[in-house]
Homo-oligomer: A and B are copies of this chain.
Amino acid sequence: MALSEFELIGRFFGAPAAAGAGAARPDVLLGIGDDGAILRPPVGHDLVAVTDTIIEGVHFPVGCPAASIGHRALAVNLSDVAAMGAVPAWALLSLTLPQADEAWLQAFASGFGRLAREHQVALAGGDTTGGALAVTVQVLGFVPAGGGLRRAGGAPGDWVFVSGTPGDAAAGLALEMGASGPGGLDEAWLRDRFLFPTPRVGLGRLLNGLASACIDVSDGLLGDLGKLAAASGCGAEVDLTRLPLSPALIRLLGAEKALERALAGGDDYELCFTVPDRRLVEAQELLAAQPAPTRCIGRLASGSDVKLQRAGSVMDFAHAGFDHFAR
Contact = CB atoms under 8 A, between A and B. Distances in A.
A11 B4 CA distance: 40
Given A50-B35, A53-B127, A96-B53, A5 B324 contact: yes
A201 interface: no
A127 B219 CA distance: 13
Nearest to A91: B49
Interface stretch (A39-47, A166-174, A239-247, A278-286): A39-47
Interface stretch (A62-70, A77-85, A307-315): A77-85
Nearest to A126: B51
A325 B50 contact: no
Contacts of A236: none
- Copies of this protein, total: 2
A186 interface: no
A45 to B, nearest CB: 8
A8 B325 contact: yes
B125 A51 contact: yes
Nearest to A150: B34
A30 B325 contact: no
A58 B132 CA distance: 11
A252 interface: no
Interface in A70-122: 80-81, 83-84, 86, 90, 92, 94, 96-97, 99-100
A231 to B, nearest CB: 8
B83 A36 contact: yes
Question: Which 5 residue pairs of A and B lie closest in terms of their CB atoms, listed nearest first?
Answer: A36-B50, A35-B83, A136-B136, A4-B326, A35-B80
16 contacts: A4-B323, A5-B323, A5-B324, A33-B231, A34-B231, A35-B151, A36-B80, A37-B48, A38-B148, A41-B41, A50-B125, A51-B125, A58-B130, A128-B324, A130-B325, A134-B134
